[in-house]
């Protein structure tokens, strides 16, 4: 009741003070509609002029239209990239209603825009880094598990391939042929989505390590076989001549000499592995790539992807460095 009375009073007041002006019966709805139409026609300045006509409310007076008009004006100014005027419009609201969260957030956002670009990137970085770091940790876990599994698998496949027992060499040939000849993505899908239909359901991490492990074992198998066969045949004869068995000769004489030759290609494989782990994001694993993708889809912020690229580069650089050191150490006996 009081509301209606006050409304009528305001309307009366307006009619008196703004006589001749077209704001009949304080019909702000009409005004907002007109300004929207003007905006739709692209006449932003016209819309602003209309919105300006909503006066500052007196104490106790209905403030809704005023706040709406000033915020709309602020948005238009912001769209025109006139940040100062946009902030000024918000501050008109804040002068009367210091707690208005819409105006405050908008000012904060506008002030954020006024800051230099690196500042935004920095704050984004700080915001994204925790979840990216978690993703990177998972990537590293995958890499380490695969790095433990695949050299062993590769060595077994290599020894199997050069075995004189036909069934053994045939089986190893087949495994290498299959896992080198099909896409890793397909193998991961088969292990994670396909095996359940055979009654084997694996958690994503296990499935990822098995997939990556088999795939990299196949590649390393061929690399290790090549390295073993590149060792001078005389080494095996010399080892046998002092009475060593085949396995003793392999373990003590042949395989240790392959380490130096193995390091460059294995380093290559493991650097490829760091990036290949991104593929396991397709089987419900949240690692670095997936984390970056989630952030990007949430914030539409390219910084997340750029950060992921930087983290991948840091990881590959560290690995390159480590493998160079190992290669040097493994070949130390060749240095005079």
Partner 1 sequence: MSIANQPLLKLENITKRFKELTAVNGVNLEVSLGEKLVIIGPSGSGKSTLLRAINLLEEIEEGTISFEGREVGYVMRGGKRHPDRPQAISALRAEIGMVFQHFHLFPHMTVLGNVMEGPMTVQRKSAEEARTIALDILEKVGLADKRDVFPATLSGGQKQRVAIARALAMRPKLMLFDEPTSALDPELVGEVFDTIHTLADEGMTMIIVTHHMGFARELADRVIFMESGNFLAQGTPEELFSIAQDNERIRGFLNRLL
Which residue in 126, 136, 128, 185 sits closest to 289, CA to CA?
136
8 Å CB contact between 107 and 94: yes
Task: Decide if residue 162 touches partner 1 (CB under 8 A).
Answer: no
* Stretch of 61-69, 98-106, 241-249, 307-315 lying at the interface with partner 1 (CB under 8 A): 241-249
Among 110, 244, 284, 305, binds partner 1 (CB under 8 A): 244
Task: Decide if residue 245 touches partner 1 (CB under 8 A).
Answer: yes
Q: Which of residues 252-291 bind partner 1 (CB under 8 A)?
A: 252-253, 256-257
Task: Decide if residue 232 touches partner 1 (CB under 8 A).
Answer: yes
CA distance 227 to 229: 5
Contacts 24+ apart (CB under 8 A), 120-129: 121/303, 124/299, 124/301, 124/303, 124/304, 125/303, 125/307, 128/295, 128/301, 128/303, 128/304, 128/307, 129/307
Task: Decide if residue 237 touches partner 1 (CB under 8 A).
Answer: yes
8 Å CB contact between 246 and 310: no
Q: How far is the CB of 163 from partner 1 (least distance, A)?
A: 14
Of residues 260 and 290, the one with the C-beta less far from partner 1 = 260
Q: How far is the CB of 321 from partner 1 (least distance, A)?
A: 24
Distance (Å) of CA 299 to CA 101, 278, 302, 305, 336: 21, 21, 9, 11, 58
Of residues 26 and 239, the one with the C-beta less far from partner 1 = 239
Task: Decide if residue 240 touches partner 1 (CB under 8 A).
Answer: yes
Of residues 55 and 331, the one with the C-beta less far from partner 1 = 331
Cβ neighbours around 130 below 10 Å, total: 10
DSSP category for residue 180: H
Q: How far is the CB of 199 from partner 1 (least distance, A)?
A: 42
How many residues contact partner 1, by CB under 8 A? 22
Q: How far is the CB of 134 from partner 1 (least distance, A)?
A: 42
* Stretch of 13-21, 228-236, 264-272, 291-299 lying at the interface with partner 1 (CB under 8 A): 228-236
* Stretch of 15-23, 235-243, 270-278, 318-326 lying at the interface with partner 1 (CB under 8 A): 235-243
Contacts 24+ apart (CB under 8 A), 329-335: 330/259, 330/260, 330/263, 331/259, 331/260, 334/260
Of residues 70 and 261, the one with the C-beta less far from partner 1 = 261
CA distance 220 to 217: 5
Among 8, 25, 58, 238, binds partner 1 (CB under 8 A): 238
Among 229, 235, 297, 317, binds partner 1 (CB under 8 A): 235
Task: Decide if residue 333 touches partner 1 (CB under 8 A).
Answer: yes
Q: Is 299 helix (H, G, I), strand (E, B) or coil?
A: helix
Task: Decide if residue 241 touches partner 1 (CB under 8 A).
Answer: yes
Contact positions vs partner 1 (CB under 8 A): 232, 234-235, 237-246, 248, 252-253, 256-257, 333-336
């Amino acid at each position: 009741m009081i509301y209606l009375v006050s409304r009528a009073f305001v309307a009366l007041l307006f009619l008196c003070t703004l006589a001749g002006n077209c704001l009949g019966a304080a019909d702000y709805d009409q005004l907002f509609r007109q300004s929207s139409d003007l905006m739709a026609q692209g006449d932003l300045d016209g819309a602003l002029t209309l919105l300006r006509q909503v006066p500052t409310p007196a104490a106790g007076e209905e403030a809704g239209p005023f706040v709406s008009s000033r915020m709309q004006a602020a948005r238009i100014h912001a769209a025109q990239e006139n940040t100062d005027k946009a902030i000024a419009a918000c501050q008109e609201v804040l002068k009367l209603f210091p707690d208005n969260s819409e105006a405050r957030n908008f000012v904060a956002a506008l002030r954020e825009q006024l800051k230099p670009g690196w500042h935004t990137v920095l704050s984004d970085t700080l915001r994204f880094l925790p979840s990216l770091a978690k993703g990177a940790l998972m990537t590293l876990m995958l890499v380490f598990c695969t790095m433990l599994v695949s050299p062993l698998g590769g060595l077994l496949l290599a020894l199997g391939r050069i075995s004189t027992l036909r069934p053994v060499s045939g089986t190893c040939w087949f495994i290498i042929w299959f896992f080198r000849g099909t896409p890793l993505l397909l193998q991961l899908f088969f292990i994670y989505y396909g095996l359940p239909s055979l009654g084997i359901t694996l958690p994503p991490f296990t499935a990822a390590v098995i997939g990556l492990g088999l795939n990299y074992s196949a590649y390393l198998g061929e690399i290790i076989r090549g390295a073993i066969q590149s060792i001078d045949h005389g080494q095996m004869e010399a080892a046998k001549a002092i009475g060593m068995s085949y396995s003793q000769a392999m373990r003590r004489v042949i395989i240790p000499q392959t380490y130096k030759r193995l390091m460059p290609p294995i380093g290559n494989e493991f650097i490829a592995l760091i990036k290949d782990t991104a593929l396991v994001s397709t089987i419900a694993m949240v690692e670095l790539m997936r984390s970056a993708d989630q952030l990007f889809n949430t914030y539409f912020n390219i910084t997340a992807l750029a950060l992921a690229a930087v983290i991948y580069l840091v990881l590959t650089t560290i690995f390159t460095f480590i493998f160079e050191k190992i290669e040097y150490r493994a070949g130390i006996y060749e240095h005079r």
